[in-house]
Structure 1
Amino acid sequence: MTRPRAASDRFVAQLPDHIRSQVAVIHSPLLKIEPLTVAVESDESAGLIFSSANGVNAAALLNVDRCLPAYCVGPATTQAAQDAGWDAQMRGATAQELVANLLKLRPRSPLLHLRGEHSRGNVAERLTESGLTTREQPIYRQQLLPLSDEASQAAEDNQPIIAPLFSPRTARHFADVWAGSAPLWLAAISEAAAEPLKTLRFERLKIADEPTPDKMQKAVKKLLNHVMRVESAPGAD
């Protein structure tokens, strides 16, 4: 698992029991989330935008105003914001959907997008260009990490490895640090995340039908089914 540990644990916990019983989970987070020590000026904002649970957690540590409504990407981010005390609404499964839905909703503005230092989607820019004034502020850092010792050792083994990649940035980083010879089965959350993985030698690359945890779980299940068929085929080692 390549996400930060808490997010990886949630992803694995939601897989069916029969799937978890057939795999050994190796944790190798490729990102470390570090909240920034910044002052968030939200007094003039009419609402917040969260595009990740990491943004929610960092905002909670910074004591950002809980009285503001929060417009969120995805169910996990929405639930995190609700649990942290915000009146949070899911307004799309992706940043693109959130932008489209907010432009239809036209909530009071200006809005404030609290995000990481590295962010895709240009949410604030696209909303502002379409007449819904939105500011943005990075409130956490995503530090790239090497493969864990356990992952590096497994990479040199002959057992199949299923690696889910949840963002283009972590996919690029994985492609840079992977130097193993183990059979590699890849799940990418989007076409953009899949692109840098195409430089690797792999058995199969599955792209999620939609960039959501549910679709990524389905992609992982399909890969596991393929792996099991290959491993049980006549003549397989």
Structure 2
Amino acid sequence: MPPTTAAVLLTRPKAQAEDFADQLRAALGPREVVIAPVIEIVPRPATALPAGIGGLIFTSVNGVAGFAAMGGRRGLPAWCVGEATARAARAAGCDAIAAGGDAEALLQLLVQSRPEGPLVHVRGAHAAGRLTERLVAAGIDARALVAYDQNSRALDSAAHALLAREAPVLLPLFSPRSARLVAAEVAQTPLRARLLVCALSQAVARAWRDMRPADAPEIAARPDAAAMIAAMRRALAAADAA
């Protein structure tokens, strides 16, 4: 099988993986896609938002879903990590503002605009970047509200079968935690596939290389789906040229 027909292994949470698979097929054409999440989103029992809040912070669409499950008030301003999350927030009735696609860009946006708080960061139990703590350190009234857990899962039999083939496999990775989880799974798999690893950011690439130093992931130019698909195109082209 030539690299241009490489199968794809998607390991992000199921809903996001299915959405990305649709975008991927539209961009790269029909190809085999195996969805095997290593993280499962498990909502926590809904709690009420604190009274008198000034706005919301969302770093994923899962946080928006958690807000909606609380029966969240419409019309609240919401600062979002990127445009996809902002679209979900608008659909949930928020007045959403999108940052540049990662937590650092969101932090800079909030520090520069200094919105009136308190701000509530609706997030999962695992959160990279210590966003809330850094906002407080910058003098912004912010607090976290954990709306869901991100439980780790082993790769399923379909994923293991894919990795056991003597064929190229495109492996896009979207978070440092998922990169570490997948790398740990790969270490316990009779790997015969040629992995074409793509990372959403430098942080994701570092997490992968920490466990697989010999690999050199292709890194997306921006932390969004379009840039990830472009990185996957580059990985395929590099595999063709090798």
TM-score of the two chains, using structure 1 as the length reference: 0.89
Corresponding letter in the other structure for 1:107: P
Preserved contact between residue 91 and residue 98 of structure 1 (Cα < 8 Å): yes
Specify every segment of 5 or more residues in structure 2 that has no aligned partner in the other structure, as ranges: 1-9
CA offset at residue 209 of structure 1?
Answer: 2.0
Output aligned runs, 1:181-220, within 5 Å.
181-198=192-209, 199-200=211-212, 204-220=216-232
Distance 2:228 2:215 in 1: 18
* Structure 1 residue 155 displacement after superposition: 0.9
Measure, in 2, the Cα distance between the counterparts of 1:202 and 1:183. Answer: 13
Indicate the SS of the match to 2:63: helix
Q: Which residue of 2 aligns with 1:235?
A: none
Tell me the residue number matched to 1:27: 35
- Partner residue in 2 for 1:10: 19
* Cα pair distance change 1:12/1:131, threshold 3 Å: same
Q: Structure 2: how far apart are the matches of 1:138 and 1:18?
A: 35
Q: Is the 8 A contact 2:14 2:40 kept in 1?
A: no
CA RMSD of aligned residues (A): 1.9
Moved more, 208-217 or 125-134: 208-217
Higher relative contact order (CA 8 A, sep 6+): 2
Alpha-carbon distance, 1:206 to partner: 0.8
**Residue 165 of structure 2 aligns with which residue?**
157
Residue correspondences, number: 229
More deviation in 39-48 or 182-191? 39-48
- TM-score between both structures, scaled by the size of structure 2: 0.88
Aligned residues with identical type, % of pairs: 34
- Residue type at the aligned position of 2:230: K
Structure 1 residue 218 displacement after superposition: 1.0
CA shift at 1:93, angstroms? 1.7
Distance 1:201 1:110 in 2: 42
C-alpha contact 2:46 2:69 (8 A) present in aligned 1: no
Unaligned runs of 5+ in 1: 231-237
- Find the counterpart in structure 2 of residue 177 from structure 1: 185
Q: Which amino acid aligns with 2:20?
A: F
Partner of 2:3: none
CA–CA distance in structure 2, aligned partners of residues 28 and 62 of structure 1: 29
CA contact (8 A) 1:184 1:202 kept: no
In terms of mean alpha carbon deviation, does 110-119 or 205-214 score higher?
205-214
1:156-195 deviation per Cα after TM superposition (whole angstroms, max 9, x unaligned): 1101111011000000000101122211110111222112
